[in-house]
Amino acid sequence: MDAAEPGAPLCLPPRPVGPPPTVRLLPPGTCDAHMHVFGPVARYPLAAVRNYTPHQVSFVDYRPVMAALGIDRAVLVQPSVYGTDNSALLDTLRQAPGQLRGVVVVPPSISDGDLVGLHHAGVRGIRVNRRNPGGLTLEDLALLGRRVAPLGWHIQLQVEIGQGAPLAPLVESCPVPVVLDHLGLLDPTRPVGDAAFVQVLALLAAGNLWVKLSAPYRVSRAASPYNDLAPFVEALVACRPDRLLWGSDWPHTELWRDMPDDLAPGLRLGLDRAPEKIRQLIFVANPARLYGFEPAEHP
């Protein structure tokens, strides 16, 4: 699902997904911890300040991906193009309340009552996105963390590790868990022993940082299966497998070419070969705990 540049047509047909494989690809209870939906622009206006214009894709378009991969639950993440208007996300949560959770973007001035209302709607976190325009600031992180701590939420942070403000003070001062998007947008040309990645491992080991194993195509310098990321994923899994999440990043916004195949194993970053106990943590148990899903039933 290529994203279109600002001003380009919006309503392109969803990328087709083939029939479900005969063998389930992911464990029962799998949660996709990072995906997006985009509705009709007339109903869900896009922010004037944005760096891409998405195609119109809905939860209905995502269901074939769920069926093909064996995804039972998903987390809707507020995309930057909607700013603090979470209407598309909230309307989608109503379609499958037991199956979906949300991570929103809200102004720091939001009332406690509105936060409680979002919680009842299925929201479990706030996103601070420093990569795309129009997001919250890093200064908002600790303030919002204190506001949502009574609700058991987390802060989802999109930054490039090793760039800008140091990560450690942000995570250590935050009163709620901090979830790092997309492998921290790490630089795979640097070694696993690079200071920025070592800091991520230390914060992960301390327990307040979580990392999403998602969107490898955004950081890898190689084609699928993104082998240059393998040492980093192995180090994360060895450090704290109970603090890792997997996400598809569907529908892969901002990509102009080389759209990844949702069924390709490369998007799962080698976790297909991990021991079953590790797979169960990353795909099922960890997201169930962080996002407040009911425990998955085993066959």
Active-site positions read 249
Planar angle of CA 218, 221, 222, nearest 5 degrees: 105
Residue 167 identity (one-letter amino acid): L
- For residue 185 the two structure tokens come to 């947008």
* Element of type H or E holding 64: helix 59-69
Q: 186 is written with which tokens?
A: 């790490």
Distance in angstroms (rounded) separating the CA atoms of residues 94 and 86: 13
Beta bridge partner(s), residue 73: 31
Closest CA to 287 of 166, 167, 156: 156
